[in-house]
Structure 1
C-alpha cells in the first residue's frame, strides 16, 4: 500500500473511532439518563444522529477536504451523505440489535454496535468517495 493510501487509511480509522466513541457515548448517556420503555432503541437513534454529524464534519474536512460553496450546498451535501449513511446504518443496527438479542447485555450490544460501525464505515467511505464528495459533488 503506498504511503498516501496508508496515511489516508490511518486518518480515516482514527476519525471513525472518534465518531464511534461519540455514537456509543451518546447512547450510553441516553440510557443512563432515561431507563424507561424503549430507552435502548431511542438511545441507538440518538447515537446514530450524533455519530452522523460528527463523522460528516470530520470526513468533509480531513478525508475529502471538501468545501461547500455556500450553506445550501453544504446542506445538500449533508443530505446526500445522510442518504449514503442509511445503507450503512442498516449494517450497524443489525449488528447492535442482533448482539442485544443474542446476549442480552449492554456490553455485548455496544460491541455489536462497534463491529457494525466498523464494517459500515468501510462501506461508507467508498459510497461517499463515489457519490457524495467525488467529482460530481463540486
Structure 2
C-alpha cells in the first residue's frame, strides 16, 4: 500500500472513530443527565471509538491476523495500553476546552482536536509495539 493510500485510509478510520466516539458521548448524555454524566459519556465514547478503531486498523491498516483468541486478546490489550497515553492527550484537550469555554460545542471541538493529535502518535506506537 502506498504511503498516500495508507495515510488517507488511516485518516478516514480516525475520522470514523472520532464520529463514533463523540456520537456515543452525545447518546450517553441524552440517555443520562445525572451525577458524573459528562465523564461517564467520555468513557463510553472512548471505549466505543477504541474498539471500532482497533478492528479497522487490525484488518485494513496493518493487515494483521491473530494466531488464536488469546493472541487477539493480547493485541487488544496492547492496543489499549498504547491508547492510554494518547487518551490523556485527548481528554486533556476535551476537558480543557470545556473548562475554558463551558460549552458542549467547545468540549466536542477540544475532543476532536485531541483525538486527531492522539491518532498521529498512536499510529507510530501501534506499528512498533502492537502490530509488529
TM-score > 0.5 by shorter chain: yes
State the partner residue of 1:66: 64
| In structure 2, C-alpha distance between the alignment counterparts of 1:61 and 1:18, rounded to whole Å | 15
> Structure 1 stretches (4+) deviating beyond 3 angstroms?
none
Which residues of structure 1 form unaligned runs of 5+? none
- Say whether 1:87 aligns with 2:101: no
TM-score when normalising by structure 1: 0.94
Range moving further from structure 2, 112-121 or 30-39: 30-39
> 1:53 is paired with a residue of what secondary structure?
helix
Question: Normalized against structure 2, the TM-score is what?
Answer: 0.98
Query: What number of residue pairs does the alignment pair up?
Result: 132
Alignment equivalent of 2:100, drawn from 99, 102, 105:
102
Distance in 2 of aligned mates of 1:61 and 1:87: 23
Cα distance in 2 for residues equivalent to 1:123 and 1:13? 13
Of 32, 42, 45, the residue aligned with 2:43 is: 45
Partner SS, residue 36 of structure 1: coil
Match of 1:130 in 2: 128
Determine the structure 2 residue equivalent to 1:21. 19
The 2-side partners of 1:58 and 1:104 are apart by 34
